[in-house]
Amino acid sequence: MSEYYSADLSEKILRGLTENALKCKSNGGAIPIGYKVCNQYYEIDPLTAPAVVEAFESYANGATMCQVADELNAKGVKNNVGGMVTENTVARMLHNRKYIGEYKFRDIITPNGIPAIVTEELFERVQSRMEINKKAPAKHKAEDEYILSGKLFCGKCERMMTGESGTSHTLDVHRYYKCYGVRKHLCDKKTVKKDYIENLVIKHIQNIMFDDKLIDRLADDVLEELNKEKYCYSYFKKTVFRNDKRHRKHHQCHTAGDTYPVNQTKA
């Protein structure tokens, strides 16, 4: 009987989802950046959609996925679970055909089923570039290795600094970090050489790791927190035991027909 009920329920759920899909309604799940759902229908989110267009344009014009992720984070864009945008987030975004208006559920595909955010021409330019980069993964990976991506902030305006690279007239490639505010003419912070700032941060971390006094202090802090947790656990355990004992006593008195003076019970 339970198997029959389960199969029947699954069939009804699938039927409902299919009916939604035929109307291009949202069937739940993660909502792509740039969209919002209103009354089960996809709508363009005016707050984040422009950032999506810029992300596609940046990648089509030569930016790496790491740089695109940095740009989105600098604008305050969050992924669909409220976290920071990563290269994987960008990869999923750039592959997502919803952005050209294509609705898809299982084998149901509806062109122009939802509002498009980017043009098909821009989308195809991005697909072509991703295909080229897929055939040269080693070179592409080397360009992406900015280890302070998402972690480095401008000391002047506090905006995020993103990794960039440029080629000089001698064909030498120079890599550096640039304040996002400079791009928008909101800050005059000079670029910082990638190797210089990364080595500086690594050296600082090493100094912290091998500072005996700091390690001792951190160990003391950890032990203090552990002791707090032990105290909280002990207090919680005693409270539960007390309440359980009170409840059983109350139940026994109630069963015997006695009156239980709750207000006289000690905490």
Which pLDDT score is estimated for 144?
59
Q: Give 224's pLDDT tier (boundaries 50, 70, 90).
A: confident
Q: What is the mean pLDDT of residues 119-127?
A: 95
Q: What is the mean pLDDT of residues 101-115?
A: 93
Cα-based angle 174, 199, 153 (whole degrees, multiple of 5) = 80
Q: Are 117 and 44 in contact (CB under 8 A)?
A: yes
What rounded mean pLDDT belongs to the chain? Answer: 81
Q: What is the dihedral of CA 112, 118, 119, 123, to 10 degrees?
A: -100
Which pLDDT score is estimated for 223?
79
For the chain, give every domain's residue range: 12-136, 145-198, 212-264
Q: What is the mean pLDDT of residues 69-94?
A: 91
pTM over 0.95: no
Q: Strands 173-179 and 35-38: what pairing?
A: unpaired
Q: What is the mean pLDDT of residues 24-35?
A: 90
Q: What's the one-letter identity of residue 113?
A: G
Residue 196 has pLDDT above 70, yes or no: yes
Residue 181 has pLDDT above 70, yes or no: yes
**For domain 12-136, which architecture applies?**
Alpha-Beta Complex (3.90)
Which pLDDT score is estimated for 210?
78
Q: What is the mean pLDDT of residues 88-97?
A: 94
Q: What is the mean pLDDT of residues 83-105?
A: 93
| Separation of alpha carbons 102 and 114, rounded Å | 6
Which has the closest alpha carbon to 52: 78, 21, 16? 78
